[in-house]
Amino acid sequence: LYPNPAKGNLNLQLRNAPCGMYVVELAGINGTLYYSALHDSYDLTSGLGINIGNYPPGNYIVRIIYGNRSVSRNISVR
Protein backbone atom coordinates (compact mmCIF):
# COMPACT_ATOMS: atom_id res chain seq x y z
CA LEU A 1 0.00 0.00 0.00
CA TYR A 2 1.33 3.38 -0.89
CA PRO A 3 1.47 6.24 -0.24
CA ASN A 4 0.81 6.24 3.46
CA PRO A 5 -0.57 8.69 4.40
CA ALA A 6 -2.60 8.87 1.20
CA LYS A 7 -4.42 11.71 -0.47
CA GLY A 8 -6.41 11.42 -3.69
CA ASN A 9 -5.38 7.91 -4.73
CA LEU A 10 -4.34 4.78 -2.84
CA ASN A 11 -2.24 2.23 -4.69
CA LEU A 12 -2.24 -1.44 -3.81
CA GLN A 13 0.12 -4.01 -5.26
CA LEU A 14 0.55 -7.63 -4.24
CA ARG A 15 3.48 -9.20 -6.03
CA ASN A 16 3.26 -12.91 -6.84
CA ALA A 17 -0.42 -13.11 -5.90
CA PRO A 18 -1.73 -16.66 -6.35
CA CYS A 19 -4.20 -17.00 -9.24
CA GLY A 20 -7.75 -16.40 -8.15
CA MET A 21 -10.25 -13.80 -7.08
CA TYR A 22 -9.72 -11.36 -4.21
CA VAL A 23 -12.06 -9.13 -2.25
CA VAL A 24 -10.51 -5.76 -1.47
CA GLU A 25 -12.16 -3.68 1.25
CA LEU A 26 -11.47 -0.26 2.71
CA ALA A 27 -13.21 0.46 6.00
CA GLY A 28 -13.05 3.25 8.52
CA ILE A 29 -11.87 2.51 12.04
CA ASN A 30 -15.53 2.80 13.15
CA GLY A 31 -16.46 -0.08 10.79
CA THR A 32 -18.01 1.96 7.97
CA LEU A 33 -17.28 0.21 4.68
CA TYR A 34 -16.16 2.75 2.06
CA TYR A 35 -14.96 0.41 -0.69
CA SER A 36 -15.53 -3.25 -1.48
CA ALA A 37 -14.81 -4.85 -4.84
CA LEU A 38 -13.83 -8.16 -6.38
CA HIS A 39 -10.51 -8.21 -8.26
CA ASP A 40 -8.49 -10.94 -9.92
CA SER A 41 -4.85 -11.74 -9.24
CA TYR A 42 -3.76 -9.83 -12.37
CA ASP A 43 -5.24 -6.59 -10.96
CA LEU A 44 -3.28 -7.00 -7.74
CA THR A 45 0.05 -8.00 -9.27
CA SER A 46 -0.03 -5.20 -11.85
CA GLY A 47 -1.23 -2.61 -9.31
CA LEU A 48 -4.66 -1.41 -8.29
CA GLY A 49 -5.58 2.24 -7.74
CA ILE A 50 -8.44 3.24 -5.45
CA ASN A 51 -9.74 6.81 -5.66
CA ILE A 52 -10.02 8.08 -2.09
CA GLY A 53 -10.34 11.77 -2.96
CA ASN A 54 -13.85 12.04 -1.47
CA TYR A 55 -13.18 10.04 1.69
CA PRO A 56 -13.01 11.95 4.97
CA PRO A 57 -9.53 12.30 6.52
CA GLY A 58 -8.70 9.71 9.14
CA ASN A 59 -7.48 6.19 9.71
CA TYR A 60 -8.70 3.27 7.63
CA ILE A 61 -8.19 -0.47 7.38
CA VAL A 62 -7.51 -2.12 4.03
CA ARG A 63 -8.41 -5.80 3.99
CA ILE A 64 -7.64 -8.29 1.24
CA ILE A 65 -9.56 -11.57 1.35
CA TYR A 66 -8.50 -14.64 -0.64
CA GLY A 67 -10.45 -17.84 0.02
CA ASN A 68 -10.45 -18.37 3.78
CA ARG A 69 -7.41 -16.11 4.32
CA SER A 70 -7.26 -12.38 4.88
CA VAL A 71 -4.67 -9.73 5.57
CA SER A 72 -5.29 -6.24 6.94
CA ARG A 73 -3.19 -3.10 6.94
CA ASN A 74 -3.75 0.38 8.37
CA ILE A 75 -3.70 3.45 6.14
CA SER A 76 -4.11 7.15 6.88
CA VAL A 77 -6.07 9.41 4.56
CA ARG A 78 -5.38 13.15 4.57
The 10 Å CB-count burial string (b at 16+, else e) for 28-62 is: eeeeeeeeeeebebebbeeebebebeebeeeebeb
* pTM of the shown model: 0.89
Strand partners, 66: 69
In this predicted structure, the answer to whether residue 32 has a pLDDT above a threshold of 90 is yes
Taking only the tens place, the pLDDT of each residue in 62-78 is 999 999 999 999 999 99
Distance, in Å, from the CA atom of 21 to the CA atom of 4, rounded to the nearest integer, reads: 25
Taking only the tens place, the pLDDT of each residue in 44-59 is 999 999 999 999 999 9
